[in-house]
Structure formats: C-alpha cells, structure tokens
Amino acid sequence: MDATLKTKKYEKAIEKLLNEHALMPAKAGDYSRIVIVDKERQHYMLIATGWATPTRFIDAILIHLQIQSDTTIWLMENNTEIHVRDELVKNGVAYNDIVLAFYPPHYQALMSA
C-alpha cells in the first residue's frame, strides 16, 4: 500500500478510536475528554481536563499516539484501561505497525515478533 494512503487510513483509525473514547462519561468528577490532533507532526492525543473532585483539578494525557515517517504508529502513552493496540487492529491497522513506544527498545523487538 502506498505510504500516503496508509497514513490516511491510520489517521482515520486513530481519530475514530480517540473520538469514541472522548464521548465516554467521566467515572467521577466534572471533567472533559478532549481529542487533540496535529496532522502536520502526526501527533494524536486524548486528554482529560477539569475538576476531578471539588479541590483537585486535572489536566492529563490519557492516550498519545504518533504516526512515524515509516508509517508505524507509536503508542507513546496510555493511561487508560483501553487496549489501544487491539482497538486499532480492529479498525484495520496492521498489528506489526503498532509500536509500544513506552517500553525500552529491546522489549519492543520482543513484543512485535
């Protein structure tokens, strides 16, 4: 598949995943889930911002993904119970194109085999 077409396909899969989870209600507190997309640099984030309790404000990255120049998707951060890799695979992303970037490189090689 052409790299441009693959990138567009992966962008759609990522945005679908993040937008679906942005609509989920907060477990507690009064905060919003917001999707942030930077297509120029290929970064995609789901953040939570607002009041978790009457005295605790949160502004946190829940999920951070980046499409690399070789069209692999790097999962930079996942602070959720969502199995991001599995959900992306269900949306048409090749399993071996997803790198769990929060693990050291020598572990990443073991997990993609």
Q: Which residues contact 70 (CB under 8 A, 6 or more apart)?
A: none
| Average pLDDT estimate for 97-110 | 79
pLDDT of residue 108: 65
Is pLDDT above 80 for 113?
no
Is pLDDT above 90 for 54?
no
Q: How far apart are CA 48 and CA 35, in angstroms?
A: 9
Count: domains in the chain: 1
Q: Is the pTM of this model over 0.85?
A: yes
Q: How far apart are CA 43 and CA 25, in angstroms?
A: 24
- Mean pLDDT (the chain) is 90
CATH number at 51 reads 3.30.310.110
Is pLDDT above 90 for 107?
no
CB of 9 within 8 A of CB of 71?
A: no
> What's the domain range around 7?
3-111
Describe the strand order of the beta sheet including 30-38 as a list of residue ranges.
30-38, 43-53, 56-67, 73-78, 98-100
